[in-house]
Amino acid sequence: MEKIAVIGAGALARVFCRRFAAALAGRCEITGIMSRTFEKTEALAAETGAAACRTLDDLLALNPGYVVEFAGVQALKDYASAVLARTNLIAVSAGALADPAFRAKAEEAARGSGHRLIIANGAIGGLDLLRTYALMGGAKLEFESLKAPKSLAGAPGLKGRTLSEEREEVAFSGSIDEAIREFPKNVNVAVAARAASAAEQSRMTLRSVPGLKETTHSLRIENQLLHAELSFSSRPDPENPRSSVSAAWSVLACLDALTAPIAFF
């Protein structure tokens, strides 16, 4: 039985923990949860039957085979090296990879210990295909996200501005590196796509669309050998409209691929 530890007790961690048993029974068990607010950790741990941990050291002392991260870009940056020194890490806050110093440090930690940092598909799919582009080379990536105004509220890039509830607005247009600095809880998917594909050229547009019921991420990627267009529309989490529920399911699917007798790549 593979032991799984969880960082975060927010919207995605809750979906992950609540759906875990049905998806991975007999192969994986959640042994510990750690987050910033201990009361929330305790509540989710009680629901899950896992240990509530106050610190990362306590979580790692449970000897998990995989730690899964649902805690945000800064938390991933803060914890990745320590986790990778001890075990494997599956992360959704791929935005951290936009920081070259973080990426180099995480890679060094993983190489040093033989563990792996695995970036989950999150609210998109197809990172395997995008990886194929990285091997082929020469990819050009265009990424577009459509989110409801309330999903973007409070992002640093809005500098206190409130987005219109009446008309569509371009909330951001430019480089993916700048996008993740300005919208760290909204465009992890774009950084994941760019990092997986090693695109030589990339840009993104983030649109605020009043009344939107499903967050939509679309990407177009091409090189001399292959042209692909992918689009994903997913329900936002009712408790945290910034995050698509499917992002939590993607981590369940990732663990399924890592532990099932037959895997689909």
Ligand X SMILES: NC(=O)C1=CN([C@@H]2O[C@H](COP(=O)(O)OP(=O)(O)OC[C@H]3O[C@@H](n4cnc5c(N)ncnc54)[C@H](OP(=O)(O)O)[C@@H]3O)[C@@H](O)[C@H]2O)C=CC1
Does 7 engage in binding with ligand X (CB under 6 A)?
Answer: yes
User: Considering CB distances under 5 to 8 angstroms, the limit depending on partner class, which of ligand X, ligand OAA, none binds residue 132?
Assistant: none
Burial class (CB in 10 A: 0-12, 13-18, 19+), 131: middle
Residue position matching structure tokens 């267009």: 229
Q: 188 a known binding residue?
A: yes
Cβ proximity to ligand OAA, 26 vs 211, nearer residue: 211
Does 117 engage in binding with ligand X (CB under 6 A)?
Answer: no
Binding map of ligand OAA across residues 78-117, x = CB under 6 A, - = no contact:
----------------------------------------
The string of DSSP letters for the chain reads -EEEEEE--SHHHHHHHHHHHHHHTTTEEEEEEE-SSHHHHHHHHHHHTPEEESSHHHHHTT--SEEEE-S-HHHHHHHHHHHHHHSEEEES-GGGGGSHHHHHHHHHHHHHHT--EEE--TTS--HHHHHHHHHH---EEEEEEEE-HHHHTT-GGGTTPPPPSSS-EEEEEE-HHHHHHH-TTT-HHHHHHHHHHT-SEEEEEEEE-TT-SSEEEEEEEE-SS-EEEEEEEEPBPSS-TTSBTHHHHHHHHHHHHHHSSS---
List the one residue from 18, 36, 54, 235 that touches ligand X (CB under 6 A).
Answer: 36
User: Considering CB distances under 5 to 8 angstroms, the limit depending on partner class, which of ligand X, ligand OAA, none binds residue 187?
Assistant: ligand OAA
User: Considering CB distances under 5 to 8 angstroms, the limit depending on partner class, which of ligand X, ligand OAA, none binds residue 10?
Assistant: ligand X
Does 187 engage in binding with ligand OAA (CB under 6 A)?
Answer: yes
Tell me the C-alpha distance between 119 and 107, whole Å.
13
Whether residue 217 lies in the annotated active site = yes
Does 215 engage in binding with ligand X (CB under 6 A)?
Answer: no
Does 209 engage in binding with ligand OAA (CB under 6 A)?
Answer: no
Does 208 engage in binding with ligand OAA (CB under 6 A)?
Answer: no
Binding map of ligand OAA across residues 214-233, x = CB under 6 A, - = no contact:
-x------------------
Give the length of the chain. 265
Cβ proximity to ligand OAA, 48 vs 186, nearer residue: 186
* Interacting residues with ligand OAA between 44 and 73 (CB under 6 A): none
Among 77, 86, 147, 217, the one annotated catalytic: 217
List the one residue from 59, 60, 62, 75 that touches ligand X (CB under 6 A).
Answer: 75
Burial class (CB in 10 A: 0-12, 13-18, 19+), 201: exposed
* Residue ranges in contact with ligand X by CB under 6 A: 7-13, 35-37, 40, 70-73, 75, 78, 92-94, 122-123, 185, 188-189, 192, 237, 240, 243-244, 247
* Residue ranges in contact with ligand OAA by CB under 6 A: 122-123, 185-189, 215, 242-244, 247
Active site positions, annotated: 217
